[in-house]
A and B are shown apart, each in its own frame.
Chain A
Amino acid sequence: MNKRRINLWIGTVLISILMLMMVVSLFYTPFPVTEINRLERFEPPSARHLLGTDNFGRDVLSRIMKGSQTAFFVGLVAVSIGSVFGVLIGAISGYFGGIVDEIIMRIVDAMMAFPSILLALMFVSVFGVGLRNTIIAIGIMSIPSFARITRSGFVQHKELDYVKNAKIKGISNLRIMFRHILPNVLSPIVVAASMGFANAVLAEAALSYLGLGIQPPNPSWGRMLSESQVFITVSPWYAIAPGIFITLLVLGFNFLGDGIRDIRENR
């Protein structure tokens, strides 16, 4: 039955719900996201403010909804950067082998061995904080894993018959790489992309927690978490809500990734 597909289902459902929230937030939020209201600070969840208000009197639900835009945007762009460059590098490395492969893999290994926070911190220090640079930093951080996975796949496949045939036929290397091999190694990459999305969301949250990342007053779930920590004894709901949503989004993508992997394995 659908037992095999349960991961896929759970993942898809979770992501769809959150995506729905995001789409809605593009047109409507119960309250303006940045408007300050000194009279309604720290209100607990009520009919009017479903998730309560924060220290500025802003509606938490509206900020969470707006924050989902940031989460999806960061995840999407960061993973795109990571996957495009990672796949490119991995493909070249795996397909051509030799000294190019050695050099590239050394660099990739170095990047992976390094605490990514350090790289992100330095990047942001040079180029400044903010949405764009955060995304770029996270994107760069995800390149190594895509490169590794892609390279693995290319190393495996380049020895296979269909590749050798294509070479004999005189098809150009570039074509072989991207028209023939790539589609076959696509599924672990897709799985990695899904996980990468989840990691990007977590990374942005961590960076925002450390004080880099998204600028106020734009709500990012990670930043909301770090700002709310101070008030945890006064208004715990403000600290709990962003954490739950981050967990849900990450869960969704992790389940999705697993689901895709399950399908691939059971084919």
Chain B
Amino acid sequence: MRRIGLMLMLFIVAVTTLLSQRIVVAVMQDPDFLDPHRAAASGTYEMMFNVFEGLLKPDPNGTVIPAIAESYSISEDGMVYTFNLRSGVKFHDGSEVTVDDVLYSLNRLKGSNGERGLSPDFEKFVSKIEAADDKTVRVKLSTLNTDFLEKFIVAIIPESNENHEKNPVGTGPFRFVEYRPGQRLVIEKFEEYWNPELPKVEEVEFRIIPDNQAAIMSFLAGEVQILPRLDAIQAMALGDRYNLLTAEQNMVQLMAMNHAVSPFDDIRVRRAINHAVDKEEIIEIVAGGYGTKLGSNMSPIMSAYYREGLEDYYEPSVEKAKALLSEAGYPDGFDTKITVPSNYQFHIDTAQVIAEQLKRVGIRAEIELVEWSVWLDRVYTAREYEMTIIGLTGKLSAYEILRRYVSDYPRNFYNYSDSEYDRIISLAIEKTAVEEKASMFKRAQEILTEDAAAVYIMDPNFIVALAPNLHGYTVYPLYVQDMSTLYYR
């Protein structure tokens, strides 16, 4: 009997040791596509970031660093990008990355031989892609866009692969193993990764758990080792037993007001609402203090482009709000509706706090929950709403973040239109000098704030819970989970 007990113990130890080279991460949604050129959802990139790399890759500071390309240069006029490929980079199927694969990948995005490209930006801005020699690639732009460098993080995939969707092959530190819809996506260490020091663990499973509470339970039971995107209260509940990391997540949570609907077309009303909303109260109650107050559509983590000081432009003041409302012709306030997607409890809670705050100045806001699909259809597409609350995930490119407010942007669901804004944004991407570009983007943020284009609430801090023996987690200003640097101790 004792021998059985001993054997059992050894078995358990062996299994746990083997298992300890394995990490389970809780994620909230399924990938939309495994083919990296077709995937658009941030949730997909969160996971597949580990499988695919581009000529460049994002780094934790928000810039881009060389990956498949060893080095790169940009011409003086900003129209030509030259990349020198690193030697010895292998694809997951064992073949070496050649310049033909790079051409294949980039052309696939741009569109060639009469076929449409998979990336609208490549289609619009790139005129020619060619190989200068078998270690160098040159990309010529058709129109100047100084924010285009970030685009080269797109995946380089092998030309020989017949089905990128069923069999995703890339060059990243992990290789794709399996995907079971609604359940999990599994990746394993790629032994021949070009950086011999990475990755450190053997296998990663992204377990799809849309319910936050269930994810926490799994974590507490030791089933899941990483819990990204924790609620502040849950973080508090976990206490000191676990490692918690917080950082800004480069997300902008805002309450949008439909400029095409009265009374939100009146700037005084929009400003009144900005004065009525007490962002710090929201941060404390909804995010438990884990949030960074915002003043415009940019998070401070984008340090190069962030315009400081805007978050206090509209101080919370019931008197100011009421005065503006009276001026606009609403001395007794008015009735309105806040439409919120029902699957984001964070925004639902925010709506409840804001409704109370608006009550104090006489605005009676009813909260309307709609299913996500309905939100996408009604608010995002048809623009049938008065006010709504949503969070926009961060991008590396300030241009991509701010262009949502350009008048002819197809998804400008705010119905915001300002000619000076449009002008600045199109000018900004023509400026090659970083300071000039930055100052234009900063001015754009000022315009949004001065115009009270929306109520910019916060950048909800990114709280990650890690199992106690897990180390090496890196936070990115992007929706990604970098698994390569993690290790157990």
Which residues does A use to contact B, with CB under 8 Å? 34-36, 38, 41-42, 55-57, 124-125, 128-130, 211-212, 215-217, 227, 229-234
Contact = CB atoms under 8 A, between A and B. Distances in A.
A129 B370 contact: yes
B342 interface: yes
A211 B212 contact: no
Given A35-B356, A128-B368, 12 more contacts: A36-B352, A36-B356, A38-B285, A55-B349, A56-B353, A125-B373, A129-B371, A212-B371, A217-B367, A230-B213, A230-B234, A230-B345
B369 A211 contact: yes
Nearest to A234: B237
15 contacts: A34-B355, A36-B285, A36-B352, A42-B233, A55-B349, A56-B285, A56-B352, A125-B373, A128-B374, A129-B342, A129-B371, A130-B368, A229-B213, A230-B213, A231-B237
Nearest to A37: B285
Interface string B311-355: 000000000000000000000000000000011010011011101
Nearest to A126: B374
B345 A234 contact: no
Contacts of A211: 342-343, 369, 371
Chain B: number of interface residues, binned into ranges: 20 to 34
A158 to B, nearest CB: 45
Contacts of A36: 281, 285, 352-353, 356
Contacts of B237: 231, 233-234
B147 interface: no
B369 A215 contact: yes
Interface of B: 212-213, 216, 220, 231, 233-234, 236-237, 281, 284-285, 342-343, 345, 348-349, 351-353, 355-356, 366-371, 373-374
A129 B369 contact: yes
A55 B213 CA distance: 15
A36 B355 CA distance: 10
Contact of A216 (B216, B234, B369, B374): B369
Q: Which of B231, B349, B368, B369 has the most CB of A within 10 A?
A: B369
A229 B214 CA distance: 9
Contacts of A217: 352, 355-356, 367
B310 to A, nearest CB: 24
A212 B342 CA distance: 8
A227 B345 contact: yes
